[in-house]
Amino acid sequence: MSKEESTLEKKLTFCPGNVWKGLSSDVIDGINKFNDGYKKFIGDSKTEREFISNAKEILDKNGFKELSKTKKLAPGSKVYKINKNKNMAFAVIGREDIRKGCNILASHIDSPRLDLKGRPLFEDGDAMMAALKTHYYGSIKKYQWVNTPLAIHGRVVKEDGSSVDLCIGEEGDDPVFAVSDLLPHLSKILQGERKMREVIKGEELIVLMGGIPVEDEEAKEKIKLNILKILNDRYGMVEEDFVSAEIELVPAGPARDVGLDRSMVGAYGHDDRACGYTSLMAAVDVKKPLRTSIVVLYDKEEIGSVGNTGASSMFLESFMSDLLVRTKGESYIKDLQNMLESSLAISGDVSAGVNPSFKGVHEMKNAAKLGCGIVVTKFTGAGGKFSGNDAHAEYMAFIRRLLNGNSIRWQPCGLGKVDEGGGGTVARFIANLNIDIVDAGPPVIGMHSPFEIISKADVYETYRAYKAFLETGI
Q: Least separation, in Å, of the C-beta of 219 and Mn ion?
A: 43
- In sequence order, the β-bridge partners of residue 150 are 177, 251
Q: What letters, b where the CB count within 10 A reaches 16 and e where it falls short, cover 391-428? A: beeeeeebbeebbeeeebbbbbbbbbeeeeebbbbbbb
Comparison of 228 and 303: residue with beta carbon closer to Mn ion = 303
- H/E/C letters for each residue in 453-471? EEEHHHHHHHHHHHHHHHH
The residue among 349 and 458 lying less far from Mn ion, judged by its C-beta, is 349
Q: Are 121 and 227 in contact (CB under 8 A)?
A: yes
Nearer to Mn ion, 248 or 349 (CB): 349
Residue type, 100: K
Min. distance of Cβ 271 from Mn ion in angstroms? 4
Amino acid at 212: I
Instruction: Compare residues 48 and 272 and give the one whose CB is closer to Mn ion.
Output: 272
| Smallest separation (angstroms) from Mn ion to the CB of 272 | 4
Which residue lies nearer to Mn ion by CB, 130 or 431?
431
Type of residue at 137: Y
Instruction: Give the Å distances, CA to CA, from 153 to 115, 127, 177, 251, 291.
Output: 10, 26, 11, 10, 38
Provide, rounded to whole angstroms, the least separation between the CB of residue 249 and Mn ion: 17
Minimum Å gap between C-beta 108 and Mn ion is 6
Q: For the CB of residue 414, give the shortest distance to Mn ion in the complex, in Å.
A: 15
CB of 390 to Mn ion, least distance (A): 18
Output the residue with the shortest Cβ distance to Mn ion.
272
CB of 139 to Mn ion, least distance (A): 7
Output 177 or 315, the one with its CB closest to Mn ion: 315
Residues near Mn ion, by CB under 5 A: 271-272, 349
Sign of CA dihedral 19, 21, 22, 23: positive
The percent helix, strand, coil of the chain (3-state, each to 5) is 35, 25, 40
Contact 438, 410 (CB under 8 A): no
Torsion sign, CA atoms 171, 175, 179, 183: positive
Comparing CB distances to Mn ion, the nearer of 271 and 322 is 271
For residues 469 and 398, what is the distance between their CA atoms, to the nearest angstrom?
10
Q: Measured from the CB atom, is 123 or 272 closer to Mn ion?
A: 272
How far apart CA 430 and CA 450 sit, in angstroms, is: 29
Q: Shortest approach of Mn ion to residue 348 CB, angstroms?
A: 9
- 110 CB-near residues (< 8 Å, 6+ apart): 48, 86, 137, 138, 298, 299, 300, 301, 302, 303
Nearest distance in Å: CB 46, Mn ion: 15
Q: Which is nearer to Mn ion, 48 or 349 (CB)?
A: 349
Question: Of 429, 425, 279, 433, which Cα lies nearest the Cα of 342?
Answer: 433
Q: Determine the straight-line distance between the first and last CA of the chain, rounded to whole angstroms.
A: 41
| Cα–Cα distance for residue pair 462/19, rounded to 1 Å | 12
Question: In this complex, which beta carbon is closest to Mn ion, that of residue 110 or of residue 471?
Answer: 110
